[in-house]
């Protein structure tokens, strides 16, 4: 196990939880009106906002927007990283409220996960679209294609930014769908501009 202790000899997670609690109480958010289900729903909402941030910006860089009518001017962070930080803040707040020892639970879960076999369960979300043996620099390109499949110009621009050869990547994805005897979604075909196999071969 790594060294997870903070300045006070407590876990870093515990110290972050104290910081979150202090701010939540100062801003008047511990009203007692929310149920456990409400907190779970709020976690979902923060995760969704991370997706929206990716759809807005198309990258994982820092982004800021001015807060209207703020004096002095305040810049609000709006990137994917900041939305994921909101997920963590919500989680820490919920665990603090319900007395959940998140650090202990993390250690227990990681210890158990180390005993599990490789890709246990045999299920994966990307269905082979992302080759994790390839250099990490190529993975954002595939994600960009999938995310911007209905916005071909934006997806194309993202690939150019990543210095990825569009024709080669498009052909590779098109071939992958054909090999799996699956027809790419119309929106993805439009974005990739690849020829698929005849209907009777899919």
pLDDT of res. 120? 72
Domain 12-113 belongs to what architecture? Orthogonal Bundle (1.10)
Query: Could you read off the pLDDT of 59-70 as tens digits, one per residue?
Result: 999 999 999 999
Instruction: Summarize the confidence of residues 155-174 as an average pLDDT.
Output: 58
- Domain boundaries along the sequence of the chain: 12-113, 136-195
Cα–Cα distance measured from residue 93 to residue 99, given in angstroms and rounded to the nearest whole number: 10
Beta bridge mates, 77:
64
Query: Could you read off the pLDDT of 105-121 as tens digits, one per residue?
Result: 999 999 998 998 877 76
Cβ-count burial of 33 within 10 angstroms (0-12 exposed, 13-18 middle, 19+ buried)?
exposed
> Can you give the C-alpha Rg of the chain in angstroms?
22
pLDDT of res. 115? 92
Query: Could you read off the pLDDT of 178-197 as tens digits, one per residue?
Result: 655 666 555 555 555 544 44
pTM, entire model: 0.59
Cβ-count burial of 30 within 10 angstroms (0-12 exposed, 13-18 middle, 19+ buried)?
middle
199 pLDDT exceeds 50? no
Query: Could you read off the pLDDT of 9-34 as tens digits, one per residue?
Result: 688 999 999 999 999 999 999 888 89
Cα–Cα distance measured from residue 164 to residue 10, given in angstroms and rounded to the nearest whole number: 45
Cα–Cα distance measured from residue 141 to residue 145, given in angstroms and rounded to the nearest whole number: 6
């Amino acid at each position: 196990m790594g060294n997870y202790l903070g300045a006070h000899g407590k876990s870093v997670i515990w110290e972050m939880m104290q910081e979150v609690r202090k701010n939540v109480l100062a801003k008047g958010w511990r009203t007692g009106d929310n149920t456990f289900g409400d907190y779970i729903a709020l976690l979902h909402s923060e995760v969704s906002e991370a997706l929206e941030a990716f759809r807005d910006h198309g990258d994982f860089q820092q982004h800021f927007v001015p807060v209207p009518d703020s004096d002095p001017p305040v810049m609000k962070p709006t990137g994917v990283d900041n939305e994921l930080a909101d997920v963590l803040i919500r989680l820490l707040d919920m665990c603090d409220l319900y007395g959940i020892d998140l650090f202990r639970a993390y250690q227990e879960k990681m210890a158990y996960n180390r005993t599990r076999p490789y890709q246990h369960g045999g299920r994966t979300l990307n269905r082979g679209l992302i080759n994790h043996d390839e250099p990490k620099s190529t993975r954002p390109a595939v994600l960009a294609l999938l995310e911007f499949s209905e916005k071909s110009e934006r997806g194309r621009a993202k690939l150019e930014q990543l210095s990825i050869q569009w024709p080669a990547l498009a052909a590779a994805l098109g071939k992958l769908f054909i090999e799996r005897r699956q027809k790419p979604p119309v929106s993805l075909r439009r974005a990739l501009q690849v020829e698929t196999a005849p209907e009777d071969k899919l």
